Amino acid sequence: MFFIASKVLFFLISPLSWIITLLIFAVFSRKDKLKKYALWASCLLLLIFTNPMLSNYAMVQWEYAATPKDQLPYVETAVVLGGMLETGKEPTDQYHFNGSADRINEALLLYKEGIVQRLILSGGSGSLMDQTLREAHFLGTYSQTLTGAYSQEIILEANSRNTYENAIETARILDSLDLKEQKVLLITSASHMARALRCFKKQGILVIPFAVDFRGQQGDWNPFWILPSYASLEDWNILIKEWVGLLTYRLTGYI
């Protein structure tokens, strides 16, 4: 039930949903004053949420700091959180990654460089309708193809559907392998790390964060930051999802 409710909630909190709702209200409202307010509000939200300077500043402030590889302590196991693969898309003999592909690619580089010896790929089906396509299964094949790793070095966790379940299922695997007392490297997007860390610590897992997939850009201001951008809408969608998710997890006792 929580999984379905979260999908609905994240749709409702999307800035684009607010803008479209206000525009529809402006079109169909019979009161001229309300019509005008709704139209102005939708235009104002559109200007705010498509402004790259504002979205970039918010993203830079929120994202978890990067950790240089040469400062990572030795750990045997890294946990890679799913949410980077679009399963079920055509053609089916290809891998369809979204913007979070750095999660798996950076993990495979850490494995190839000998920084970690074992990967736990955590991610089931994120679909409301089809629970047969499990992301971890596809990522396992992808990882073994690229690295030539043995099956015991790539462990698949294909039951979880959200970050809380990622932590629950990973804790079970670590317990079964007698690894719960060892530190593990947690690999996920920089914008998602705050929520993920709290979930894993709640389950008693000793985690070292390794943030990837940075969207915020550090650097000097440039004129293009005042031009509207759809990418800014995507950034705000990610940020609001994380903020609301963090609050929801706190209220439900998940963190």
Q: In this predicted model, what pLDDT tens digit does every residue of 23-80 receive, in sequence order?
A: 998 888 888 888 899 999 999 999 999 999 999 999 999 999 999 999 998 899 999 9
197 lies in the same domain as 100: yes
> What pLDDT is attached to residue 198?
97
The count of structural domains within the chain is 2
148 lies in the same domain as 238: no
> What pLDDT is attached to residue 225?
77
pLDDT at residue 128 tops 60 = no
89 lies in the same domain as 133: yes
Residues of the chain with pLDDT > 90, as a percent, come to: 70
197 lies in the same domain as 237: no
Cα atoms in the 13 Å half-sphere on the side-chain side of 152: 1
Looking at the domain assignment, is residue 33 inside a domain?
Answer: yes
Looking at the domain assignment, is residue 217 inside a domain?
Answer: no
242 lies in the same domain as 117: no
> What pLDDT is attached to residue 92?
82
56 lies in the same domain as 77: no
- Secondary structure tally for the chain: helices H, strands E: 9, 5
CA 80 to CA 21: how far, in whole Å?
A: 37
CA dihedral (97, 100, 101, 104) positive or negative: negative
Looking at the domain assignment, is residue 223 inside a domain?
Answer: no
pLDDT at residue 11 tops 80 = no
Q: What is the pTM of this model?
A: 0.89
Kindly state the DSSP code that residue 91 receives in the 8-state scheme. S
CATH classification at residue 151 = 3.40.50.620
175 lies in the same domain as 157: yes
Looking at the domain assignment, is residue 139 inside a domain?
Answer: yes
pLDDT at residue 126 tops 90 = no
pLDDT at residue 82 tops 70 = yes
> What pLDDT is attached to residue 8?
66
- Tokens 């525009």 belong to 23
User: Looking at residues 225-253, what average pLDDT do you find?
Assistant: 93
224 vs 241, residue with greater confidence: 241
Average pLDDT, rounded, for the chain: 90
Q: Write out the residue range of the structural domain in which residue 158 sits.
A: 69-212
43 lies in the same domain as 115: no
Looking at the domain assignment, is residue 17 inside a domain?
Answer: yes
> What pLDDT is attached to residue 112?
93
pLDDT at residue 228 tops 70 = yes
| 3-state helix vs strand vs coil in the chain, percent to 5 | 55, 10, 35
pLDDT at residue 127 tops 70 = no
192 lies in the same domain as 137: yes
48 lies in the same domain as 108: no
User: Looking at residues 172-189, what average pLDDT do you find?
Assistant: 95
What the block records as the tokens of 181 is 């007392």
122 lies in the same domain as 208: yes
CB 170 within 8 A of CB 157: yes
Residue 129's pLDDT band (boundaries 50, 70, 90)?
low
Looking at the domain assignment, is residue 237 inside a domain?
Answer: yes
Looking at the domain assignment, is residue 179 inside a domain?
Answer: yes
Residue 2's pLDDT band (boundaries 50, 70, 90)?
low
Looking at the domain assignment, is residue 222 inside a domain?
Answer: no
User: Looking at residues 127-152, what average pLDDT do you find?
Assistant: 83
User: Looking at residues 177-185, what average pLDDT do you find?
Assistant: 93
55 lies in the same domain as 101: no
CA dihedral (129, 139, 156, 65) positive or negative: negative
> What pLDDT is attached to residue 119?
97
